[in-house]
Amino acid sequence: MTSDSFLDVAGAEKAFGGVTVLGGVDLRVAAGEFISLLGPSGCGKTTLLRIIAGLLAADRGSIRLDGEEIGARPPHRRDVGVVFQNYALFPHLTVAENIAFGLKARKHPAGEIGPTVRRFLSLVHLTDFADRSVRALSGGQQQRVAVARALAVKPKLLLLDEPFSALDRKLRENMQIELRRLLRELGITAVFVTHDQDEALTMSDRIAVMNRGAIEQLAEPATIYRSPATAFVLEFVGLSSRISGTVVGQDYEHVVVDTAYGQLRAPGSFVPGASVVLAVRPERIKVNAPGDYALVARLRDAVFQGSKVQLHFEARDGDHLMVETADLSDGLPAPGTEMRLGWAVADTLIYPAS
């Protein structure tokens, strides 16, 4: 137990009707940190969130928050705020009454409640909406009420369950930046559940990538992206070119792999004969430029995406060759064009084939 972990979840287990949803998860979060739980639906991320909030009882495991064991406490005695996916605003109350709810329930003095509510209304830019019914608000406004309501009681920890999933893309990006700024200003420790990798990469100090009830990797966004710990993390976060092959030998610190495109190398060590997958992030591959490799492939499709262009190449069954590039001075190449792809050995990732 490290002294600097503010939230410390140890060995959290949960099964529903014999099916394990969470298999002994450990999670340590430092004070003021913003952690994302990222994974596909059914990976157990929402279950973990509900267990931390006390809305669901874990079968086993302990939860310590700010030095206190809270695993056995009911949710109203945990000091853990939650922003729900559908916001769960009280439909019979106004915006201001929603924000005041927790303060009144905690019996704050009446003279304190008014100013606190006004402060949080202005923090989320809803001062003019104080007396509106929450049903008259747009999705983005409702989301801000939900955040203000959860923060007004100054919880030790804020949990967010996919709070942006109902918003359209432009609004979502603005809200992400705004929420991150607000939490940083208030120094709030937050755990954020999402299945959206862009959201996790944009907002988090660290990301816990979850799969089948376990955390596969817990690291900073750049580490998650550049050196995924497992093939699952590689596939779930970001895009990649993937080539399968068989290990034929070891050349100092490089594994030598036999593939359909010749012998390729990757940093690491594997037993000869093992089936592996080599992967490279698409922006690490150079087109028609010198590199450690020069693999010639035929263009299948070029997708213009504004700031960048995605090139998809013909590849063997099970393999996937794609490149992302920003500089194509000659315009989009026509499908069928043969191009030379090159990348550095150091940028090559290698995983056992699943």
Q: Which residues bind another protein (CB under 8 A)?
A: 53-55, 74-82, 84, 86, 88-94, 101-102, 104-106, 133, 149-150, 153, 155
CB-nearer residue toward another protein: 102 or 245: 102
From the CB of 153, what's the least distance to another protein, in Å? 6
From the CB of 115, what's the least distance to another protein, in Å? 18
From the CB of 178, what's the least distance to another protein, in Å? 21
From the CB of 235, what's the least distance to another protein, in Å? 32
CB-nearer residue toward another protein: 126 or 323: 126
CB-nearer residue toward another protein: 7 or 153: 153
From the CB of 79, what's the least distance to another protein, in Å? 8
CB-nearer residue toward another protein: 146 or 279: 146
Angle at 150 between CA 146 and CA 151, to 5 degrees: 115
CB-nearer residue toward another protein: 130 or 214: 130
